[in-house]
Structure 1
Amino acid sequence: MVENVGTISHLLIQAVDLERSVEFYTDVVGFHIKERTDFGDGRPLVIFEERMGLTELPADRAEAGQAVEHVAFQVPEFDALVESLEANDVTIDDGPKATSYGTSVYFFDPDGNRIECHD
């Protein structure tokens, strides 16, 4: 068991209309765009300084109502977390691999929520 999971690093939300959502979060909520880039699967990605990002919602996920792409946690003992996932037969969806946050691993919780943990 991992002693300390760490803190929430960021939240990535999937939007039906990306630019409408960007305008909402910047003009209405007051967020600040940090970077515009592409997500790992090629979708456009907007990263805000406020630890949240937006990307496009794929049609196959829209039917299931999956607006949250993933929640990310920064973990102080990354290797121990990966060992715990493996020891508990948790299927790793992606990684460990180098990302813009460091080394990341992606997996699903029992309810199907996608989780990223990085060092």
Structure 2
Amino acid sequence: MLATPRSAHALAPGLLQRVHHIAFNVSEMQASRHFYGAFLGLHELTGDEVPSTLKALVAEGKVANFVTPDGTVIDLFWEPALAPPSADPQQQFTRASHLAFDVAPEAFDQVVDTLQQSQVLIEHGPVTRPTGRGIYFYDPDGFLLEIRCNP
């Protein structure tokens, strides 16, 4: 069951600094890479630009990373068994995996504490990686969010 925060605890206004990345599930990686790279003109991260935690998945063709001019990262995750969207263009659906927000490293523990005290459903974390720390949790409608910080 998804929970909405019921306590007086909340993240302070301005604590979230910017959208860090959004992750999309895609059924056809090459078509999606072409769309985001060649068609939309976004820069695809390659070589040393790829986060160390994703290098193996990128090498296997399971992940591709693009960056917008404002620095927001778009991660594509290959899900070959992804169900096709509805033929009805008015039918809402999501291909998003999760949306990630940045916070300052010194605020991360406060975020975790607030999420835990507010009874928000936490999917996993906090986790620590070479690229920083993160915690994954659900909004009231079940959309996965991440709050993360650089190391």
Band the TM-score falls in, shorter-chain normalisation: 0.7 to 0.9
Paired AA for residue 11 in structure 2: V
Matched, 1:52 2:87: no
The worse-fitting range, judged by mean Cα deviation, of 105-114 and 93-102 is: 93-102
The CA deviation at 1:2 is 1.7
Q: 1:64-90 deviations in whole A, cap 9, x for unaligned?
A: 943001100001211111111100111
The DSSP-based 3-state class of the residue aligned with 2:99 is strand
TM-score (norm 1): 0.84
The answer for the alignment partner of 1:7 in structure 2 is 18
TM-score (norm 2): 0.68
Describe the shift of the 1:2–1:58 C-alpha distance in structure 2 as closer, same or farther (beyond 3 A): farther
1:53-92 aligned at under 5 Å gives the runs 53-57=75-79, 59=81, 62=83, 65-76=93-104, 77-92=107-122
The answer for the alignment partner of 2:135 in structure 1 is 105
The answer for the alignment partner of 1:19 in structure 2 is 30
The CA deviation at 1:113 is 0.7
CA contact (8 A) 2:101 2:146 kept: yes
Q: Which residues of structure 1 form unaligned runs of 5+?
A: none
- Runs (4+) of structure 1 moved beyond 2 Å? 61-66
In terms of fraction of residues, the more strand-rich structure is: 1
Q: 1:14-44 deviations in whole A, cap 9, x for unaligned?
A: 11111100011111100111136328xx981
Describe the shift of the 1:54–1:81 C-alpha distance in structure 2 as closer, same or farther (beyond 3 A): same
The worse-fitting range, judged by mean Cα deviation, of 63-72 and 25-34 is: 63-72
**Cα distance in structure 2, aligned partners of 1:97 and 1:69:** 17
Describe the shift of the 1:57–1:6 C-alpha distance in structure 2 as closer, same or farther (beyond 3 A): same
The total of aligned residue pairs comes to 116
